[in-house]
Amino acid sequence: MKPASQAEPATTTAAATTTPQQVAPPAPNAPGDSAQIDARHPALRVWRNRNYLLFEAGWTPQSISTWIQRVGVLWLAWELTHSNAWVGAVAAADLAPMIVLAPVAGAMADRARDAMRLLRLTKVLMLLQAIALAALMYAGMMTIELLLLLSVVTGVIHPYSSAARQIVVASSVVREDFAPAIALDSALFQASRFIGPALAAVMIAMWDVASTFLAHVVGSAILLGTLMAMRIPPRERSNKLRRSLMIEIADSVRYTRGHGAIWPLFLMLAVTSIMVRPVQELLPGFASNVFNAGPQGLGWLASSMGIGATLSATWIALRGRVEGLSTWAITGGLILIAATLGFASTDSLWLGLVLIGFAAFGINTMSTSIQTITQSVVSDGMRGRVMSLYSLIFRGLPAIGAVVLGTLADRVGLQTTFTLAAVMALVVWALVALKWRVIAGVVRRELQSYTAERKS
């Protein structure tokens, strides 16, 4: 494949270099007869991978608790300041470090012989951060400055967690199960986006914001337990991993820039992440100032986003194949932009709930499709770095949007701000959509190349 050969001549597809995690022993990863496994629906077959089952058993409750805490943090920022700019700053503190650290984290994850050890370490640190949040709240010492600082701590840890996680998920299933494994992982994560905010709204109303931080302590502890039970063989190191981090980061940028499918899709993701996706971070302002609905309204809006995203991820998971996802990635971007334009033009909470649900459906359809395509066509030696670029775009760039759009919203209003941003995003989306056939053709050729290599 041309893109892979530009960066790594010896590796042409994700299957070209067989690594230990791809040929795991039958017992932990792929029990049973291969013909029996292949006969099953991909969404069912993937659960026969023991490591994947353990991973999701811990990651799902932890994801729920993450969203519980996230709603708690954003609502606490609003209660302490009643400022969209401050809420945007707290959201950005959690997201912005990804912009700087994601490439470094990806290179380090590619270098690491044992990505599982790195993932476990990051989750220990996340647990300590949740304990600190709860302790400060119950001690009556919390301020907006401390909340901002602890959000920065989360933001610094997350790039390393995300980079290690991408490798661990890919290592926990056989290569043929990549697409359904990634889609199901996304479906479970998006389900947590529905469950978590709904629980957060109830917890804040019945108890206090601090209870949302305690919930994350519990969720993090559960995940650590399942990670300890997973058994993924360490990877072999190659001599190329001894080069400097900056050279490896530059290689990943060149690889991505030269890829006919990944590059335009990443461009669309980047623009929508800055211009449109920050509506999620600024929901407290919509709930309070636009819809006059308070914390319950925030919980409903966040849960509606979770429902829309869950429906999208579940559909992609049941679909179970990579072919055609480039079309859905572009379609998802259009749904996101159109729904955001509608959401920004209404002051009806019920209509807003429907539109924000469609926006979330679009976000997840676009992002999960792009993630699945990238995981399926990227070469193994580039996986950690390229997927870290994906994380930089999807998690890091909304920090820029949250700060800029939040500051602008304090001056001209949330609705005007997001109307203008969505219109600008629509222009870039149209430019990418014009290359739809080229993108689909590149993905199709690379998947055919992988299939031919398997048969040979």
Domain range annotation of the chain: 2-9+45-233+245-455
Q: What is the dihedral of CA 395, 397, 398, 399, to 10 degrees?
A: 100
pLDDT at 406 over 50: yes
Percent of the chain with pLDDT over 90: 23
Tell me the pLDDT tens digit for each residue of 81-92.
888 788 878 877
Neighbours of 237 (CB within 10 A): 12
pLDDT at 183 over 80: no
The residue type at 126: M
Query: For the packed helices 262-275 and 383-391, what is the interaxial angle rounded to 10 degrees?
Result: 30
Angle at 50 between CA 49 and CA 56, to 5 degrees: 90
Q: Which of 36-40, 109-113, 161-165 shows the lowest mean pLDDT across its residues?
A: 36-40
Q: Of the candidates 392, 337, 386, which has an alpha carbon nearest to the alpha carbon of residue 366?
A: 337
pLDDT at 118 over 90: no
Round to whole Å and give the CA distance between 13 and 208: 51
pLDDT at 167 over 60: yes
CA distances from 147 to 133, 189, 197, 221 (A): 8, 25, 19, 22
Tell me the pLDDT tens digit for each residue of 220-230.
999 999 999 88
Fold of 2-9+45-233+245-455: Growth Hormone; Chain: A; (1.20.1250)
CA distances from 261 to 3, 176, 257, 267, 448 (A): 9, 21, 10, 10, 15
Q: How confident is the model at residue 454 (pLDDT cuts 50, 70, 90)?
A: low
Q: What is the pLDDT of residue 5?
A: 36
Q: How many residues does the chain have?
A: 456
Q: What is the pLDDT of residue 2?
A: 40
Tell me the pLDDT tens digit for each residue of 232-281.
777 665 545 455 666 777 777 788 887 878 889 999 999 999 999 888 87
Going by the DSSP 8-state scheme, the letter that residue 240 receives in this structure is G
Scored b (16 or more CB within 10 A) or e, 132-146 reads ebbebbeeeebebee
Q: pTM of the predicted model, to two decimals?
A: 0.66
Tokens of 86: 């401050």
Going by the DSSP 8-state scheme, the letter that residue 31 receives in this structure is -
Residue of 41 and 163 predicted with greater confidence: 163
Burial of 454 (0-12, 13-18, 19+ CB in 10 A): exposed
Task: Report the sign of the C-alpha dihedral through residues 9, 443, 333, 179, in that order.
Answer: negative
Q: What is the pLDDT of residue 235?
A: 64
